[in-house]
Amino acid sequence: MAMAKAKKKERMTRVMRRDEEKGKDGEPEVIIGLEVHVQLTNLKTKLFCSCSTDYRGAEPNTHVCPICMGEPGTLPVVNEGAIEDAIMVALALGSSISRRTLFSRKNYFYPDMPKNFQISQYDKAGGVPFATGGSVSIGGGKKVRIRRIQIEEDPGRLVYEGTIDSSPYILVDYNRAGLPLIEIVTEPDMESPKEARMFLQNLRSILEHLGVFDESLQGAMRCDANISIKGGKRVEIKNISSFKDVERALSFEITRQKGLLSRGLRVGMETRHWDDLRRITVSLRVKEEEQDYRYFPEPDLVPITISEGLIAKVKACMPILPSERKRLFIDKYGIPPQTAEVLVGSKALADFFEECIKLKADPLPLANWLTGDLKALLNEMEIEIWESKVTPAHMAELVSLVKDGILSGKMAKEVLKEVVATGRMPRKIVEEKGLRAIASMESLKEIVERVFSENPEAVKDALRQEKAVHFLIGQVMKATKGSADPLMANEAVRRRLQEIASSVSA
């Protein structure tokens, strides 16, 4: 009963949010669905052979064998780790797992596929997807529904000279061919590029928490986006390899398509390629019908029974998920829900936070630093936290320098910039620059005395009107060159004024 109520409430929030984004006639302006391909980076071998998955940086075509090269006569054998990973993902997204799963062949010619078919899963033509249903919440009470989850093999990597439309040849590297992927297909529930990014970010965090995916590996999460704008047909954008690019690519498409529509041109069904160098989409193929992949069940693999026992086994080893972790941050450390949400939006950030806590950092200011200034700085530099020079030791020290009154907030911001840029410890920076907050009331008193003696008129006014008080505080802060805590300066000025007032009345 309670659950039903909660569900109804959730639906209502969603409907309300949708209303805000709807056009004049109630239809959403933009509808976005995603197909996300995630490499199961925790697996050491490929999906159907025993080649190493550690292909990054390797010489092209060295992580290959007759099986993943699709040589005549070879057969695939399923990596059982992929099944367990997929069960874990399905459980985490609340999807229902098919008790009997099988693989299908997706047939099409392309140079990146050694067999010219991809072993995948499918929900039609005698096939069964690995799991269906489930959702990922993207904040503000909105959820993006999952249509299906399936296991499939990664194709090889095509390397162009320059851009796809001008390259005189294609180079193919099959090191990636046969890597284990899961494909997560959403319902078209997103209504803005930002929502798409939020979805990917939260999905990424879930997969990170499950330990099946390492976000630090280049190209380990890629997606194709389907976007339709009111008045146009569905356009698919392929080759998006980061979630920052998803927002860019979709924004580009919205602008492009709206431009077409506003000039009275039509937006037909089309597949486009995201060129991440030029940050534009280019047309791959225009067609009115869906490509016919001629799916049929893969005869070389036997159907796999997913037993309750296996699901229970996987369930028992499930690591903590972002949603649970958020609750923990709120309950244990008193972090406000919105801040906690940002923290768990990236496993690296949430881990970072907990590492700082281990170093005795004060949770609340720490959380604010991480989700505020630090995040802003990293965004500006377009790097992730693990790519930066900042460590938990840096942040713990910075927070404690502020807490001990050695640094004012303003000074700490400057120090943080320095930390991010150089990786030096905050205390070192403070010492070298001779930075020191006017931390004690004693030292502040001297400055207050000086300011008061330099501004006798203002002191007189201040005894009567608030405006002059602020002037004096400002002067004190100016005299300390910002190294005083504004609150402390405020208190010192008022205390001195009170002393004067009481001595006068006495």
Partner 1 sequence: MDSFHSYYPLPSRLSVSDLCDAIRRGSIKAEDYMASTLDRIRRVEEKVHAFITIVEESTLLERAREIDRRVRDGKGFLGALAGIPIAVKDLICTKGLRTTCGSRILEGYIPTYNATVIERLEEQGAIILGKTNMDEFAMGSSTEFSYFGPTRNPWDLSRVPGGSSGGSAAAVAALEAPMALGSDTGGSIRCPASFCSVVGLKPTYGLVSRFGLIAYANSLEQIGPMTRTVEDCALLFSHMVGRDPLDSTSVEPPKTVFFSKKDDAMDLVGLKVGIPKEFFGEGIQESVAKTVRKALEKLESLGAQCEETTIPSIQYALPAYYIIAMSEASSNLARYDGLRYGLRVPDRGYGWNTIFAENRRLGFGPEVKRRIILGTYALSAGYFDKYYLKAQKIRTILRMEFQRAFKRFDVLAGPSMPILPFKIGEKVGNPLEMYMCDVDTVPANLTGLPALSLPCGFRNGLPVGIQFMAQAFQEGLIFRVAYALEKSLDLREEPRL
126 versus 219: smaller Cβ distance to partner 1: 126
When binding is defined by CB under 8 A, the residue of 6, 77, 159, 381 that contacts partner 1 is 77
- Does 71 sit near partner 1 (CB under 8 A)? yes
**CA–CA distance, 467 with 360 (Å, rounded to integer):** 41
- Does 116 sit near partner 1 (CB under 8 A)? yes
When binding is defined by CB under 8 A, the residue of 6, 171, 302, 487 that contacts partner 1 is 302
- Does 287 sit near partner 1 (CB under 8 A)? no
Answer yes or no: are the C-beta atoms of 417 and 377 closer than 8 Å: yes
- Does 299 sit near partner 1 (CB under 8 A)? yes
- Does 78 sit near partner 1 (CB under 8 A)? yes
When binding is defined by CB under 8 A, the residue of 45, 74, 455, 483 that contacts partner 1 is 74
Answer yes or no: are the C-beta atoms of 149 and 130 closer than 8 Å: yes
- State the DSSP string of 444-484: HHHHHHHHHHH-HHHHHHHTT-HHHHHHHHHHHHHHTTT-B
Q: What share of the chain is helix, strand, coil (3-state, %, to 5)?
A: 45, 20, 35
117 versus 352: smaller Cβ distance to partner 1: 117
When binding is defined by CB under 8 A, the residue of 28, 36, 117, 232 that contacts partner 1 is 117
Closest by CA position to 47, among listed 207, 155, 123, 203: 155
Closest by CA position to 254, among listed 281, 276, 273, 275: 281
- Binding to partner 1 (CB under 8 A) within 156-215 occurs at 170, 172
- Does 388 sit near partner 1 (CB under 8 A)? no
Answer yes or no: are the C-beta atoms of 245 and 264 closer than 8 Å: no
**CB 101 → partner 1: shortest distance, Å?**
13
Q: Computed from CA positions of residues 300, 305, 310, 315, in that sequence, does the dihedral angle turn out positive or negative?
A: positive
When binding is defined by CB under 8 A, the residue of 73, 162, 434, 456 that contacts partner 1 is 73
213 versus 295: smaller Cβ distance to partner 1: 295
When binding is defined by CB under 8 A, the residue of 294, 315, 464, 495 that contacts partner 1 is 294
- Does 125 sit near partner 1 (CB under 8 A)? yes
Closest by CA position to 187, among listed 196, 177, 176: 196
**What contacts 490, CB < 8 A, 6 or more positions away?**
473
When binding is defined by CB under 8 A, the residue of 12, 16, 58, 75 that contacts partner 1 is 75
- Does 282 sit near partner 1 (CB under 8 A)? no
**CB 147 → partner 1: shortest distance, Å?**
19
219 versus 303: smaller Cβ distance to partner 1: 303
Q: Residues binding partner 1: what is the number (CB under 8 A)? A: 31
- Does 70 sit near partner 1 (CB under 8 A)? yes
Residue 94, both tokens: 């609340």
290 versus 466: smaller Cβ distance to partner 1: 290
Report DSSP state, residue 190.
B
- For residue 226, the cross-strand partners are 33, 236
- 10 Å Cβ neighbour count for 55? 22
**CB 123 → partner 1: shortest distance, Å?**
14
- State the DSSP string of 374-391: IHHHHHHHT--GGGSS--
Tell me the window of 62-70, 90-98, 336-344, 450-458 that interacts with partner 1 (CB under 8 A).
Answer: 62-70
Largest Cα span, the chain: 105
- Does 59 sit near partner 1 (CB under 8 A)? no
Phi, psi (deg, nearest 5) at residue 25: -95, 15
119 versus 220: smaller Cβ distance to partner 1: 119
- 10 Å Cβ neighbour count for 211? 15
- Does 114 sit near partner 1 (CB under 8 A)? yes
295 versus 452: smaller Cβ distance to partner 1: 295
Tell me the window of 25-33, 71-79, 313-321, 494-502 that interacts with partner 1 (CB under 8 A).
Answer: 71-79
65 versus 359: smaller Cβ distance to partner 1: 65
Return the SS3 of 272. strand
Using a CB cutoff of 8 Å and minimum separation of 24, what contacts does 452-460 make?
452/496, 459/497, 459/500
When binding is defined by CB under 8 A, the residue of 33, 76, 155, 188 that contacts partner 1 is 76
- Binding to partner 1 (CB under 8 A) within 390-429 occurs at none
**CB 298 → partner 1: shortest distance, Å?**
9
Answer yes or no: are the C-beta atoms of 453 and 472 closer than 8 Å: no
Tell me the window of 106-114, 250-258, 367-375, 454-462 that interacts with partner 1 (CB under 8 A).
Answer: 106-114
Return the SS3 of 297. strand
Tell me the window of 105-113, 243-251, 275-283, 360-368 that interacts with partner 1 (CB under 8 A).
Answer: 105-113
When binding is defined by CB under 8 A, the residue of 22, 31, 94, 107 that contacts partner 1 is 107
If you search the block for the tokens 């699901």, which residue do you land on?
A: 311
Which residues here bind partner 1, judged by CB under 8 A? 66, 69-78, 105, 107, 109, 111, 114-117, 125-126, 170, 172, 292, 294-296, 299-302
